[in-house]
Amino acid sequence: MNRWLALLGFVVLCLAVAGVSGWMTRPEISGWYAAIRKPSWNPPSWVFGPVWTTLYLMMAVAGWLVWQAEPASRRTLALSLFGIQLALNFLWSPLFFKLHQPGWAAVEIVLLWLAIGGFTVVAWGVSRAATFLFIPYWAWVTFATALNFAIWMLNVNAHQSRAG
């Protein structure tokens, strides 16, 4: 019973991060985000919800799988990295959407990418299934990092040309 409650806890935690992030992001989609310049390869806004929901669920199961492993220093490190990446994941939305700071968000998403990578590598020795569940998340954040940097550069240049 405890293991299923733990799974529920991981799912609730990850979906809470998703829900609060989405709540903070939603008002900015039709306002600030719609008005800024984006690269031609920027996905339509409707893609992000289903992708992120799937990734958060996969993330929750990965965390749970690691949590279920026998206590060991590698498990503790993996769970710590899981918490760090989840906190960094949460912080990205306010930086980018609420504070309108794609530059700072770009710095932050690199830290997120590193934390995801750290979890993915460390989890390999704890639960290979957890590693495989994190690979799509790491791939998506790789894409999101490139997108974040492109948006930052397009809008820094747009701001400079308006100022000049």
**Residue bearing tokens 């799937």:** 54
Regarding pTM above 0.95, the answer is no
pLDDT in single tens digits along all 164 residues of the chain: 799 999 999 999 999 999 999 998 999 999 999 999 999 999 998 999 999 999 999 999 999 999 999 999 999 999 999 999 999 999 999 999 999 999 999 999 999 999 999 999 999 999 999 999 999 999 999 999 999 999 999 998 665 545 54
CB atoms within 10 A of CB 46: 9
Q: Which of 48, 57, 120 is nearest to 84 (CA)?
A: 120
Q: Evaluate the CA torsion angle 76, 140, 112, 17 in order and state its sign.
A: negative
In the chain, domain spans = 2-163
- The Cα 131–Cα 26 span in angstroms is 30
Q: Which two tokens stand for residue 65?
A: 């799988």
Q: The domain 2-163: what is its CATH number?
A: 1.20.1260.100
Q: CA 85, CA 62: separation in Å to the nearest integer?
A: 13
Pair of tokens at residue 48: 């992000």
Evaluate whether 72 touches 27 at the Cβ level (below 8 Å): no
